[in-house]
Amino acid sequence: MVFHCKSGRRSADAGSKACGFSNGAAVYTLSGGIEGWKSAGLPTIAGAKGSSLSVLQQTQITIGLATLAGALLGAFVSPWFLVVPAFFGAGLTMAGLTGTCGLATVLATMPWNKAHGASCGVSCASAAKQAAGA
């Protein structure tokens, strides 16, 4: 298994967690992430891109707007709207305790976060052979 992310920090964390579940399979992380790979001049295959905002940014925007709206509605309309910021506060607490964010998981499945277009049909193995010049 090979884990990678933009800078390498999140993939290193995921790779260390995966070691406990790999059943003896080799686990690798891309040091420096895909940006490190690119800066080393190594080849990449550009694919269709989904949203220009990362899922993390989308999660932060959603929580921020919902919390702000809930607080304002709670202050000026009805105190029952304070349930909204309380709900998102509880969600952030659970995300911090478990390392899994339910909202981010849901946002990742949204159509705008899916790459569009057909697959190029290149597998990891064949891409590695191409990179090696085989």
Residues classed as catalytic: 5
Distance (Å, whole) CA 6 – CA 32: 8
Element (H, E) at 28: strand 28-29
Listed residue (49, 1, 50) closest to 22, CA to CA:
1
Q: How far is CA 95 from CA 90, 100, 101, 102, in A?
A: 9, 5, 5, 7
